[in-house]
Amino acid sequence: MDKAIATGAVKKISVDQLRQGMFVHDLNCGWMDHPFLSNQFPLESKADLEKIRKLGLHELYIDTSKGADVGADVSAVAESDVQREISAQLEAIAREAETPTAKEAREQEFARAKKLHTEANQIVQHMVHDIRLGRQIETEKLEPLVENMVDSIFRSPDALLPLARLKDHDHYTFQHSVSVCALMIAFARGMKLERPIIKEIAMGALLHDVGKAKVPDEILNKPAKLTDAEFSKMKSHVVQSIIILQNTPGISQIMLDVAGQHHERHDGTGYPNRLKGNEISLYGKMGAIVDVYDALTSERVYKKGMPPTEALGKLLEWSAHHFDPDMVKLYIKSIGIYPTGSLVRLESGKLGIVLEQNPEHLMQPNLMVIYNARGEHYIKPENLDLAKSGCQDRIVGYEAFDTWQIDPERWLNPGL
């Protein structure tokens, strides 16, 4: 745990309590919801203070060891207390898990998923290139891809989902679309929606960011704070997506809802139409959750990706305002407390990568144990099913790959 958090210096306060001279530890929102280069900075100017207040945030975190504190008579919550509450909520969700249906073994699906993932990234990259040249989207080329992704996740979601986490800085935009598509399929499957509806949701997810083709790369990939004009241009990608899709044959209302509403927020603070509550469609609510989750867990030029379980905790926290709380819980049940591809620490001191979910025991997935954290060295890889009778080990927390200088691609996509 961060030393400032452990000592209680990091506190959650309301935005109304924020003052110049404080140090912002965490803006407590997704990176696409604010124009600042980092989530952490000293609040020195009145302009930045006003900019934060206009973002529609309700609460954020300050670090009192680096800046001013709230007054003694003002209510504030230590971040360590927030984390304990989030952990308790995740455990409660795990206890509500249902017994799964039979599925194909991950090993049998992995080779097909690997090929499919490569094909999907190539197809979306070509599509973005065509849009920039003014060409129309050819949905007939996307439909077989979506069909294959749906089939793969229905056979074994643990094969494709960890691959979708792998992205590089130069190709983030279209890789993000592929990842959101895969996660949305898993989400819809977990909600037991009908297959034809799931295919439409998947197509909408694959196309949800097509409007970014109209945003200059120097803004999309800018490794510095965005100006107000640049932030507005970035946010305009949603309207651009709607325009593009409305002029594309074969686009359904479900697909438009996913693309046009994935930046709307439950409390009405989102964009482009400031929809709130049930004004947002089911598919828009799903898209908002998945889009933020994938952005939080992805590496960017200017930020490190967040461990998946930590990102799920953030979604739970933000469901007080920004997301439908019941939908967030359904999403967590769909992908697991420790999503496939996560790095976790065991009580024995070993580190393992989650290979496969045990849906009826979300706190006890199947792992590949690869590292001894106490001795700080690799060990011979070993498969470990924590739900198996007689297993003496258990997960005590999640870890970040970069903390231990472990390359996730080596383990999530072997053979590269």
Cα(59)–Cα(133) distance, rounded to whole angstroms?
A: 42
N- to C-terminal Cα distance for the chain? 33
Q: Coil, strand, or helix at residue 313? A: helix
> Would 160 be classed as within a structural domain?
yes
Give the integer Cα–Cα distance in Å for 323 and 303: 23
Q: Give the span between the Cα atoms of 272 and 261, in whole angstroms.
A: 8
Same-domain status, 124 and 250: yes
Residues 6+ apart with CB under 8 A from 57: 15, 27, 28, 29, 269
User: Are 277 and 363 contained in the same domain?
Assistant: no
Region of 75 on the Ramachandran plot (φ > 0 left; ψ -120 to 50 alpha; else beta): beta
Q: How far apart are CA 57 and CA 28, in angstroms?
A: 8
Is 60 among the domain residues?
Answer: yes
Give yes or no: residues 176 and 215 share one domain.
Answer: yes
Claim to verify: residue 65 and residue 185 sit in the same structural domain: no
**pLDDT per residue as tens, the chain (416 positions):** 455 555 578 999 999 999 999 999 998 887 778 888 888 899 999 989 998 988 888 899 999 999 999 876 666 677 778 888 888 888 888 887 665 544 555 667 888 999 999 999 999 999 999 999 999 999 999 999 999 999 999 998 899 999 888 887 667 888 999 999 999 999 999 999 999 999 999 999 999 999 999 999 899 888 888 899 999 999 999 999 999 999 999 999 999 999 999 999 999 999 999 999 999 999 999 999 999 999 999 987 667 889 999 999 999 999 999 999 999 999 999 999 999 999 999 999 999 999 999 988 889 999 999 999 999 999 999 999 999 988 899 999 999 999 999 998 888 876 54
Same domain membership, residue 399 and residue 280: no
Domain contains 94: no
What CATH number is associated with residue 147?
A: 1.10.3210.10
290 and 359, same domain (yes or no): no
Q: Is residue 29 part of a domain?
A: yes
Q: Which residues does residue 294 pair with via DSSP β-bridges, in sequence order?
A: none
Instruction: Return all residues near 245 (Cβ < 8 A) that are at least 6 apart.
Output: 137, 207, 210, 251, 255, 256, 259, 260
Domain of residue 113, residue span: 106-335
Give the Cα separation of 287 and 357 in Å (integer).
Answer: 23
Pair 308, 382 in one domain: no
Q: Are residues 225 and 300 in the same domain?
A: yes
Residues 282 and 369 in one domain: no
CB atoms near residue 31 (< 10 Å)? 18
Q: What's the CA gap between 361 and 179, in Å, rounded?
A: 25
Q: Are residues 245 and 114 in the same domain?
A: yes
Do 355 and 315 fall into the same domain?
no
SS3 content of the chain, % helix, strand, coil (to 5): 50, 10, 40
Q: Which of 290, 318, 335 is the last residue of a domain?
A: 335
pTM of the model: 0.88
Same domain? 330 vs 357: no
What is the tally of structural domains in the chain?
3
Query: Is residue 11 included in any domain, yes or no?
Result: yes
Helix or strand (DSSP H, E) at 74: none
Look at residue 87 and tell me if it is in a domain.
no
For residue 92, is it within any domain? no
In degrees and rounded to multiples of 5, residue 300 shows phi and psi of: -125, 170
